[in-house]
Structure 1
Amino acid sequence: MAKPANSRSVQKRRTDPRRSARRGSSRAPTEIDKGVGETIRKLRTERNLTLAELGSALGISHQQLQKYETGANRLSAGMLHAVATVFNVPIDALYDGVRQSGSERTKNPADELRRECAYFIDRTKSKTTLHQMAKVLKAIASA
């Protein structure tokens, strides 16, 4: 019985070590991936979220989130967007832990506090509580 003509080429594609090595190396996490992961961990711990809680909000397992945080796995553009949405921060804020052009990115500590305040305000569902928060913020800002 004769084999189909294309079975040999399919087998060859699966076992060609040059092909898998090329794919693996181009997809390996970089220092940028590690920096983004560190920033995600920092944001998660600042908000007292567990790996399981944040993973659930993102629709991934806590193990996968841990791989992202350690830089073992790369984040897709879609996942970066989802993380930024959950934390209510702009996507570029996820790159705060990344060095750019050999120098540390200048950070304004007030910007981080503004993002943190925005996160908690965004999570508040009660209109009454939001009014109270607005009053407190107005009083503090005018002092």
Structure 2
Amino acid sequence: MANGKHPVDVAVGGRVRELRIRAGMSQTKLGEALGVSFQQIQKYENGANRMGASRLVQIATALNVPLAHLFVGVSPQGEEPETAPLDKEASKVARDWAAIPDQNMRDTLRKVVKSMARAEA
């Protein structure tokens, strides 16, 4: 912890960022939902500031995810998560995906992407 950041705080913060992006929510919007600035959200996401239990519940509620989703892939030792964080391109796709309201359209697109992935393999 040379930089003062605990690895678990960094991992949970990264997970908050990933889920926020998947939800198509900006740091500003999440900050407004929590009553804090977007700068505070940045500090949570990069692990500079720790999040207490009540704040984690607020974040999960604002992102409309179960609280446990904030800890997926996070180990007690703060080791690398089991799944890699989203890269920028995948984040854009996730944000666009979240904006599609029609479940039938999502199902069709999922099949198209799966078919394309198989064709490339």
Whole-Å Cα distance in 2 between the matches of residues 104 and 62 of structure 1?
Answer: 25
Match of 2:33 among 28, 35, 57: 57
Deviation at 1:82, TM superposition (A): 0.3
Residue number in structure 1 paired with 2:89? none
Choose between structure 1 and 2: higher helix proportion: 1
Q: Is 1:43–1:87's contact at 8 Å kept on the other side of the alignment?
A: yes
Change over 3 Å in CA distance of 1:103–1:76 after alignment to 2: closer
* Deviation by residue 1:90-112 (Cα, 9 ceiling, x = unmatched): 21210124235668558xxxxxx
Aligned Cα root-mean-square deviation (Å): 3.2
Number of matched pairs: 91
Percentage of matched positions with identical amino acids: 38
Q: Quote the offset at 1:87 in angstroms.
A: 1.4
* Bigger RCO of structures 1 and 2 (CA < 8 A, at least 6 apart): 2
2:75 counterpart of 1:99: yes
* Cα gap change, 1:63 to 1:103, in 2 (>3 Å): closer
In structure 2, stretches of 5+ residues that fail to align are 84-93, 109-121
Instruction: Supply the AA of the counterpart residue of 2:34.
Output: L
Match of residue 72 from structure 1: 48
- CA distance in structure 1 between the partners assigned to 2:8 and 2:68 by the alignment: 12
**What SS does the corresponding residue of 2:68 show, helix, strand or coil?**
helix
Is the contact between residue 11 and residue 74 of structure 2 (CA under 8 Å) also seen in structure 1? Answer: yes
Q: Counterparts in 2 of 1:1-143, with a 5 A limit? A: 29-100=5-76, 104-105=81-82, 136=104
- TM-score (norm. length: structure 1): 0.51
Moved over 3 A (4+): 100-106
